[in-house]
Amino acid sequence: MMLSTRGSNLLGVGNYNQALILDLIRRSPDGMSRVELAEKTGLSAQTLTNVTRRLTAEGFIAEAGKVGTGPGKPRTMLALEPSARFAIGVHLDPAVTTVVLLDLAGRIVQHREIQPTGASSRRQLQAISAVAGDLVDSLPDPTRVLGVGIAAPGPLDTDAGLLLNPPLLPEWSDTPLREELAMTTGLPALLEKDVIAAMVGELWVTPAGDLGDALFFYYGAGAGVGLSLDSTPLRGASSNAGDIAHLIVDPDGPACGCGARGCLGVSLEPATLLSEAGLRSARETTPRDPRAALDELCLRALEGEPQPVAALTRAAARIARALVQLDNLLDLTDAVLGGPVWARLSPFLRPAVADALPRTGGMTTVRPLTLRESRLGTDVAAVGAACLVLDGAFTARPSHLLITD
């Protein structure tokens, strides 16, 4: 990372303090008092008064009653106004396109799904834009919608706003997705890799400080990781960080197109799991949308059928081996597990991965890796896409202090 030579000014400091205070209040379900804010931030009483007054005037926070904590004057609690701002999130996935309207608290206000039809990317964009427009129009004040975020499988060209030959979404290759969605919705648009969006979403809804150096193991049509170092998403030089498809997790596993055996991507493909579980007919009839077949696989495993149990136990061991290798490389504190396929298989996989992790050889870190399940369920990438907009507008980061051109 290159050290910036840009300075700051009073406006930058003021905006940073305002974002910091809003972030602390947003992450506190019961609100916070000015006394608590002073203790956490070290800001003076006058600065806190000025900032909270400004946030109240702009509709971001409101007084939420008084709380007595012993002798002395009761403290006035300040709470978030979730409807102060909204964002739209779109997740492009081979099985279904998900569109959500998210409030400032990170809660889904409205949820829509667009089923794949085999139409061109332009026709699909028209459908997405129409749904996004309906969500905006459903609000009493549409101007409170800040923008639309798009999460999609990589690789991406985020500078140009394009998907670059995505294997499972070939019809979207080289489509000016970000530009056209911004034009048709009239909203600023952001494009992000789905695994990175998932990490951004998880950071947005997690209490302050609970996720520092962490990864999000995203299990959907493919497997990848979103990374967070010191609570800041790590995107990489081209914003394509997190591709772990060719991490070898099972030397005796299935052959991969790269020439190796047991790469994580091919080893965790839904088609591989269904085949190893003996559900070949389901694999053959659902190449892009294996959701029903995966539900059946998980149910059979939970009922104790030997072949489905063996297939998912093997998948859990492969995931655990990937987590160990990533933890050795990055020395992490937490691994969040989520994504559309994970959410369907988690009743079996969650305890199986937790059991396999400490028995996986080769771990060199001095502290155990804490496993968490995503708070965001099957919609994590769509929610994360909307959180990209909110995060860019409201998260306090030191880089926001720098003077911009």
| Mean pLDDT on 178-198 | 96
Do the beta carbons of residue 382 and residue 91 sit within 8 Å? yes
**Dihedral of the alpha carbons of 344, 342, 219, 160, in degrees to the nearest 10:** 70
What are the domain boundaries of the chain? 10-80, 84-200+382-394, 211-220+235-374
Q: Which helix (H) or strand (E) holds 147?
A: strand 145-152
Q: Confirm whether 10-80 and 84-200+382-394 share one CATH topology.
A: no
User: HSE-up of 226 (CA within 13 Å, CB side)?
Assistant: 34
For position 57, what pLDDT does the model report?
96
For position 1, what pLDDT does the model report?
47
Share of the chain above pLDDT 90, in %: 70
Strand partners, 373: 337
Domain at 84-200+382-394: CATH architecture: 2-Layer Sandwich (3.30)
| Mean pLDDT on 3-30 | 75
For position 280, what pLDDT does the model report?
63
Rounded Cα distance, 284 and 158, in Å: 34
Q: Closest Cα to residue 153, out of 145, 142, 144, 162?
A: 162
What's the chain's length in residues?
Answer: 405
Do the beta carbons of residue 387 and residue 149 sit within 8 Å? yes
Share of the chain above pLDDT 70, in %: 91
Query: Domain spanning 211-220+235-374: which CATH class is it, in words?
Result: alpha beta
Distance of CA 321 to the CA centre of its chain: 22
Q: Closest Cα to residue 380, out of 339, 347, 337, 336?
A: 339
Q: What is the pLDDT of residues 228-271, one digit of tens each?
A: 998 889 999 999 999 999 999 999 999 999 999 999 999 999 88
> What are φ and ψ of residue 331, in 5° steps?
55, 65
Task: Please give the residue that has the higher pLDDT: either 71 or 299.
Answer: 299
For position 209, what pLDDT does the model report?
75
Domain at 10-80: CATH architecture: Orthogonal Bundle (1.10)
Q: What is the pLDDT of residues 310-358, one digit of tens each?
A: 999 999 999 999 999 999 999 999 999 999 999 999 999 999 999 999 9
pTM of the model: 0.91
Q: What is the pLDDT of residues 74-125, one digit of tens each?
A: 888 999 999 999 999 999 998 899 999 999 999 999 999 998 887 888 899 9
| Mean pLDDT on 159-185 | 91
β-bridge pairing 145-152 and 189-193: parallel
- Tell me 188's DSSP state: -
Terminal C-alpha separation, the chain: 20
